[in-house]
Amino acid sequence: MSDATAIEQSRIIDHPMHNRAQSLLPLKVSSLSYSIRQRALLHNIDLELTISGITAILGHNGAGKSLLLRLLHGLIAPTSGTVLWHDRAVAELEVRKKQAMVFQKPFVLRRSVAANIDYVLALRHAASRDTRDKLLRDANLLDKAKQSATSLSGGEQQRLAIARALATDPSVIFLDEPTASMDPAATAAIEQQLQSVNRQGIKIILVTHDIAQARRLADDIVFLHQGAIAEHTPAEEFFARAHSTAAQHYLDGQL
Ligand SMILES: Nc1ncnc2c1ncn2[C@@H]1O[C@H](COP(=O)(O)OP(=O)(O)OP(=O)(O)O)[C@@H](O)[C@H]1O
Ligand SMILES: [Mg+2]
């Protein structure tokens, strides 16, 4: 390899938009099914995610969105089929370590805001005041570092939960309805945080019932209907004219 090529390669690798998510992508899901007591809750899921943008998973209540998120994250194992991240099984520790999950109800530890971040950094032997302060600054929580985490508002707790997920240094973050029941200002603050996270090269896979949010954030839409993927479409195209009847009805507010 010439010096110029070596420099170019290291520049690309160092650039945040190119590392992180690229080390886990593409995600390839093949013939995935998930059943409980003979009931197929997800069936014949094939999905390929190649870009490190924001993917939104949409669908009616009970369509299987949360189950799919858990399967992609390896929290539950499929009944049949495979989930591969960059050709590696989701069950591999190295794959799991690069993923973080944020739930609808923010989960914070009963200690100060700063200590919530310190706890995670210490787990991966990366404790550093600078790293912690940067994470809190990005979450717009630095001025509340000493406050007890449980005294934060719901929106602030969710920003802390996202900052704590980032403290694990993930390549992919999964979020299951992260702004449900939040007011427009709290929602906007979290959306800004997610966009900034994504600009750092971290892949985001988001379940939401907020269609306007999906329109604002998503690069591509996975639409689930009755346990199957009805379509996977670039967001602009999806909102201009969804391909599947199920998604068209969903967007029209019909059952
Ligand atoms: N542990 C379980 N045992 C039995 N059925 C389950 C289990 N977990 C999920 N289901 C069923 O699987 C289906 C999909 O559930 P899931 O939670 O993925 O839906 P969802 O798309 O996330 O819905 P919502 O928008 O309401 O959150 C539902 O019918 C649910 O009742
Ligand atoms: Mg759900």
> pLDDT for 68-89, tens place per residue?
999 999 999 999 999 999 999 9
CB atoms within 10 A of CB 252: 8
**Could you list the residue range(s) of the whole structural domain that residue 29 is in?**
3-109+170-251
199 alpha carbon to ligand 2 midpoint, in Å?
Answer: 26
Q: Is the pLDDT of residue 11 over 80?
A: no
Query: Residue 102: inside a domain, yes or no?
Result: yes
Q: Quote the pLDDT of residue 172.
A: 96
Query: Residue 116: inside a domain, yes or no?
Result: no
Model pTM score? 0.91
Percent of the chain as helix, strand, coil, to the nearest 5:
40, 25, 35
Q: Is the pLDDT of residue 1 over 80?
A: no
193 alpha carbon to ligand 1 midpoint, in Å?
Answer: 28
Task: Determine the average pLDDT of the residues in 235-240.
Answer: 96
Query: Residue 133: inside a domain, yes or no?
Result: no
Question: Quick one: which atom of ligand 1 is closest to the CA of 64?
Answer: 18
Q: Quote the pLDDT of residue 2.
A: 45
Question: Quick one: which atom of ligand 1 is closest to the CA of 69?
Answer: 18
**Which residues fall within 8 angstroms of residue 194, CB to CB, at 6 or more apart?**
54, 162, 175, 178, 204, 206, 217
Q: Quote the pLDDT of residue 21.
A: 75
Query: Residue 157: inside a domain, yes or no?
Result: no
| E strand residue ranges, 50-154 | 54-58, 80-85, 88-89, 99-102
Atom 5 (ligand 1) nearest CA: 36
Where does the pLDDT of residue 9 fall: very low under 50, low under 70, confident under 90, or very high at 90 and above? very low
**ω into 234 cis (within 30 of 0):** no
Q: Is the pLDDT of residue 255 over 70?
A: no
Q: Quote the pLDDT of residue 149.
A: 98
CB atoms within 10 A of CB 2: 7
74 alpha carbon to ligand 2 midpoint, in Å?
Answer: 16
Query: Residue 232: inside a domain, yes or no?
Result: yes
Query: Residue 134: inside a domain, yes or no?
Result: no
CB atoms within 10 A of CB 241: 10
| Cα atoms in the 13 Å half-sphere on the side-chain side of 107 | 9
Dist CA 62 CA 136 (whole Å): 35
List pLDDT tens digits, range 144-154: 999 999 999 99
Q: Is the pLDDT of residue 5 over 60?
A: no
Q: Is the pLDDT of residue 197 over 70?
A: yes
Q: Average pLDDT over the chain, rounded to whole?
A: 91
Task: Determine the average pLDDT of the residues in 42-50.
Answer: 97
CB 108 within 8 A of CB 150: yes
Dist CA 235 CA 254 (whole Å): 20
Query: Residue 60: inside a domain, yes or no?
Result: yes
Q: Is the pLDDT of residue 200 over 60?
A: yes
Query: Residue 122: inside a domain, yes or no?
Result: no
Task: Determine the average pLDDT of the residues in 100-109.
Answer: 94
Q: Is the pLDDT of residue 169 over 90?
A: yes
How many domains does one find in the chain?
1
Ligand 1: residues within 6 Å at CB? 36, 41, 59, 61-67
What is the CATH number for 192?
A: 3.40.50.300
Q: Is the pLDDT of residue 6 over 90?
A: no
Q: Quote the pLDDT of residue 3.
A: 44
Q: Quote the pLDDT of residue 181.
A: 84
